Structures are given as structure tokens and as C-alpha cells.
Structure 1
Amino acid sequence: MGSRDNHLWNHSYYVKVRKLREGSSGSVHLAVDLRYGNQVAIKFIPRGSNSIHVVAREVLNQRLCFHHPHIIQFREVFLSTDHLAIVSEFAAGGDLADYIDRHQAIYKKASMTESNALWLFHQLVTGVNFCHQMGIANRDIKLENTLLMDLSERPLVKLCDFGYSKDEYQGSACKTLCGTPEYVAPEVLARESYNGKAADVWSCGVVLYTLLTGTFPFRDPEEQRLSQVALLQRLFPRILTGQFDMPTTVSKECQSLLRAMLTVDPLRRIPAAHILQHPWMKKFDAAKELAQLQKAARKPVAKGWSMQTDQEIMLLSTEAAKCSSQPQESLPY
């Protein structure tokens, strides 16, 4: 494999296994840490790219949620010749979109049971609520950013990707139009100052709806063949008015929670902490099993987990903002 295809070709202890996915800001690769034999996920962002300026915010906000059982754990940042790399723990079960695809292939139906959806959703909201308690809004919650630690029917769920996140104790109010169209809240589309935590709850509502039905609440499946522009022209008005079909196959308690999360007025939308107390969240008596899962997930910090300071991370991201013209060694701190 040539060095141009392998961003880790000259690294002293990370060895590439394969590319996991390609995104708008960079690519994510599976690698092995030769020092300890564990697998990690490494996100590579080209040096000098427009995405570099948010890297420090992404990493520092994720670090604030360190060692929570439902947040993907940050490991370290390093520079290579052409990229800035963010190393995190690896989720072997893929994401919620993969889970839905597997579920549909096995059971030959789009929807899943409320009990199964609750198992996954409860963990997501627990992670989101912790972020909110820490003053952080993720602002890009979606199926693809909700990772699974194994391929079992009832996996451990972890939230990832803090690239759009906002710390309410640092910087200005949320004003940026960001996120993925199918999950974006109406107040975000309005392009005015908004509460990022309330926008997260809306996105969680979209995730729950999709788990239960296999479809997005504000998209018509028959519009799949439309161009992206035509699709958005139909999607955004439905989001702005909260126009969606409530699934009739789910319980009244579940309908109540969906309605509370997909409320157009963010001031009337249920907060994440209240979601965890909603009757539907307690309906299937999974609390004991979930508590055992969370306890097992609270392991001691693994060997090799970096203790980089905020200043070191800021320095690396500042350096990465410059386009590199001179070959250099990978620089882990």
C-alpha cells in the first residue's frame, strides 16, 4: 500500500487496517495500536482545509464528556505530513443506520418493536442529557453519529462526532445553520439565534421515529428519486410546520413522547432530562438491564489513552490550519 493511500504509513505505533467511511470533512480509518493491541478509529482531516478551524472545539467538547458510557471516548490528536488526526475508541457494531439495515434484512420489515427501539433510544438520550448537563449541544445528532459497540441485538450505544457542537459557556449563541437536513429543527432553519439543546431534542425525536417506522418523519418515501434541491423544497416546509404522520402502530405513550420532542416551538419542546422521566421510557422495565450495561461500560481508562492538555490540542489544531509543504514525522503528544 502506497503512502498516498495510507495516512499512517510512517506512524510509529498506529497501523491502518481499512478505511471505514468518507465524509465531507475527511475520512475515518480503522487502525491498530501496536503498543497495546487495541483497535481505534482515526479521523483524518486535510491540513489547511476549512474544517480544521472547528477541530479544537470538537475535541475539547468531546473531552468534557470523558468516560461517560454513552459517549465515544477521545484518545489523542496528532499531526502527519498532510493531515490532522483525531483518535477515538472504535465501535465495532457500526451505527444505527447499519443496525436498521440489519434488522430489516433479518425480520423483513421496516419497523422494530417499541421495546427494541427503547433499548437503543434510552442510551442515546442518556448520553445527550449528559452533554446538556455539561453545557454542550451536539447539533448533529443522527443515526450515522450514533455508534454501536458490537453487533448484538442489544448493543451498547455511544454518541460520536462533536464537529458542530457548541459549549454554552464558551463563545456566542447558536446561529449557524448546521446538521443534516432530515434531522434539523425548525428554529435552525429560521436562521435566527436558537437553543442548541432544544435542537438536539428535535433530532432525537427524528431518530426515535425512524427506529420505530424505518422512515424519516418529514420525508415522503415516494420522493426518493427527486433531486436534492427538489427534495429540500418539500422537506423544509414540513419541518417548519411540524407536518408528519404519527405512526398508528405504536402505543399512546410512545406517540405522546414523539409529539413532545417534535414540537415546533422550542420553548414548549420537552428537555432531554424530562425525556428520561417520560412514562414510555419506563414502560418496558429495562432499567435494571440498562444499569448493568452502563456499569460494565464504566471501565478504567485504557492504556494508551492520552492526557493531552487543552493547550497542546489548540497548538496542534493551529499548526494544522497551515498547509504543510515539508515532510515531517507524525507528532503525537
Structure 2
Amino acid sequence: MALDPLKMRYFAKIAELGSFTRASGELGVAQPALSLHMRGLEEQLGVQLLNRTPRGVVATEAGQTLLSHAQAILRALDQAEAATKEQAKYPTGDVSLGILSSICPTLSIPVIEECSQRFPKIRLTISEGDSQALRAAVDTRVHDLAVTLDSVAKPTSMPLFEEMLYVAGPSGEFAVDATLTVQEALGLPLILPTRRHGIRILLERQALIFGRELNIVREIEGVASTKAAVRAGLGLTILGRGAIHADHENRSLSAIALTHPGLTRTLVLDMPVNHPPTRAVTEVRKILLAVVRNLGAEGHWACLSPKVSASQ
């Protein structure tokens, strides 16, 4: 039979203080109850642990052996309790968050700042990539969370927001009051990623709807390289608002929203299936959802995610 930690705590206190009376006062346990616990412990071990003397209680040789082990065990239990309570207040651990490359600059910085301020013991790693790579990383648990395009229905996926798509060109390409329909945009000389990318898939679907062919002049992988090619005058591209907002504001690119109808894409928060999140992952998830809502309120996108309560 395993030793009872409570009895060990009582025994250690009695041996350390050398008195049942003093131990009773510190522990808040009646002296007869302490005596009963000690008799039970001695019977379980088959040895006498304490000697009563006129000057108090003294541990026997066997009692001294048990006391040294009990003190170490009780210290470990106290440390475990303190660490657990500390983690409940300040969660710790590694969290890997993947974000679609085109929105990573917009979304990652406020998430990092908020996480660092509120939970400094969480080690947050952020990686950017395309939707296919991010979904694979979630499925293999390389990422705990990923913000990616909505393409595969999963019970652990949560819709986050709808993002408007824009045609981006060199600075000064579009007049301030210019408009552009989706059908017109399909015929522009476009720089697009390969067919495995979500935005390419979305545009090819639109081309089928309108009975048009995409006018792709170059295929380039990577948002930064695509924008560099556009700035160099090698063609135009179509990106989400998050990818071109800063460039449009500093006038390194010009951009125009697609209209009649507007063209949007849905982004979701993806998590591994059948793998309960740690406390650290849960807290990062809450921060991410709050940042998405805040950026939505600033006009970056139309939020789809509900408010998350403190218990989620």
C-alpha cells in the first residue's frame, strides 16, 4: 500500500517540532487524531517511528530515515502545487502559430505584442506560408493554430473573417475614383501564384463563371516577390487587403477593390483534430481572435468569428 502524503505531512511536522501538542496547533488537527494517524503509519510500515519522552517526541532511527524522505517528497509536492497554480495564472509552454503569408504582416505583430505583454512565459513561434502548407502543418501537429483559407471542412475550423480582394499595380496605375469589375480584372495582365494557391483557385473559378480565361503573364511564388514584380512594371496582381494595405498607404503600389460584385475570400482558424489544446494554446487563440476583431473594427476585413468568452 502506498504511503499517504497526508500522514507523511503529519509525521514530518510532529518529528520536526518534537511535540504532538505543537504539531496539533500548527496543523489544525486534534491531537487524538494525530496519534491515530501515527499508529496507522507505524502499523503500515511495521516499525516504530516516534519515541515519547518526558521532554517531547523524538524520531527513532527508522523515523529519521522516513523523515528525510518525507521532507524531500513534501517539498516536491509543494513545488508541484505552486508551479501548477503559477501556470494557471501565467501559462507557460511553446505555441506554434501559422499565418497565411499575405496577411501575416498585418496579423502577426499585434498578436506578438499582446502575447508578450500578457503571457511573457509563453514561447510563441509564428510561421508564414501558403494554405496548403499550413493545413498540412496543422494536421501533423507542427502548428498548434493556423490562419488559412477556408477550403476543407473540419470540426476544429472556425471562420474568422472575409477579406476583400484588390487589384494592385505600380504607383499611380489607378485613378482615385476608378472602379474595376471582377470580369474586367480577369483580362488584365496578371502575376499570380501557381494553381495550388487559394487565390489562384478562387480566380480560376471566377473565370469559369464568366466564361473567361485568366490572362496570366507570369507565375511567381511569394507575396513579397510578386509585389516587387508589380512595382517593376512586369504586370498587375490580385491580393487581399492585408497584403497591399501598407503599400497602398505609402504609395509604393496603387490598389483598387473589385466590384460588381465584390470579390472576397474567407479565412479560418484551423486546429488539430482530436488533440486538446494546452492552456498556452488556448490563451494565444483568445488573443488571436481579439486581434482579428480589433482589426475588423478598423476596416481591414469583415469579421465572422463570435466573441470568445473567458472560458473558451
Pairwise TM-score range, normalised by the shorter structure:
under 0.3
Report the structure, 1 or 2, having the larger strand content.
2
TM-score, reference length from structure 2: 0.20
More helix by share: 2
Task: Please say which structure displays the higher CA radius of gyration.
Answer: 2
